[in-house]
Structure 1
Amino acid sequence: MSLYVMGSLYILAGIYHFISPKFYLAIMPPYLPFHNFLVVASGLAEIVLGMLLFIPSTRMWAAWGIILLLIAVFPANLYMAYGAKFQEMSPWFRWGRLPIQLLLIWWAYRYTK
């Protein structure tokens, strides 16, 4: 059950990159290049990796891919937590994303074996 919830969450999160790209573009740290490309690529990666979790023969690689993706997007979450332009957002939302990333990494790690 947990596997299907996780896969579905990544698929939905990836789709949301295309529904509301402005949110993801806003949290991109300025030092990263090609913001539009990175938002599209991370959205596609979430969709594909979420789907690959459902296939037993690709599950382990999908879980490792999710872990790498979560590490790769961590700078955006840090930028949102610290960034002055996000101060109007709830601190729970801004700062809560950081420990949730660790929880998501642990969740994906459960499927790497």
Structure 2
Amino acid sequence: MEKLRLIFTYLFAILLIGAGINHVINPAAYASLIPAWLPLNATNYFTALVEITLGGGLVFTGTRPWAAIGTILLMIFFLPFHLYDVFREHPAVGSTLLALIRLPLQFVLIYWAWFVVPKAR
């Protein structure tokens, strides 16, 4: 089970770091996800920094518990934005169906982050 947990940990780290890098390389892709009341560029780059930091934190055993908990909190923080997207006339992800599919995926990510939290021995 520990090997599986480690594999999922590294996969989640790659996912987070990749998403963070994508925020920097392709910021326009995230523009419609960021609410109008938040500063677009600052929010986008801050999110990139947080995702890259958490992903990097998952790689190292000393920071892994805190990075996993931070990832759980980040995914919970994103949840209302994904819920809001479901009810928008033009969802950021393209269609209402995709927004509906994406919403439960957020819960999968929350569970995934919980799964990689190192267990007490």
User: How high is the TM-score relative to the length of structure 1?
Assistant: 0.87
Distance of 1:7 and 1:21 partners within structure 2: 20
Cα distance change of structure 1 residues 16 and 91 upon mapping to structure 2, 3 Å threshold:
same
Which among 1, 14, 22 is matched to residue 16 of structure 1? 22
4+ residue segments displaced more than 3 Å: none
| CA deviation map 1:4-61 (0-9, x unaligned) | 111101110111111221221211223x422321111111111111011010010000
Q: Based on CA coordinates, which of the two structures has the bigger radius of gyration?
A: 2
Structure 1 stretch displaced more, 8-17 or 78-87? 78-87
Q: CA RMSD in A?
A: 1.9
Q: Identify unmatched segments of 5+ residues in structure 1.
A: none
| CA deviation map 1:89-111 (0-9, x unaligned) | 24442111111111111111123
Total equivalences in the alignment: 112
Q: Identify unmatched segments of 5+ residues in structure 2.
A: 1-6
Which among 4, 13, 17 is matched to residue 7 of structure 1? 13
User: How high is the TM-score relative to the length of structure 2?
Assistant: 0.82
Aligned residues: percent identity?
37
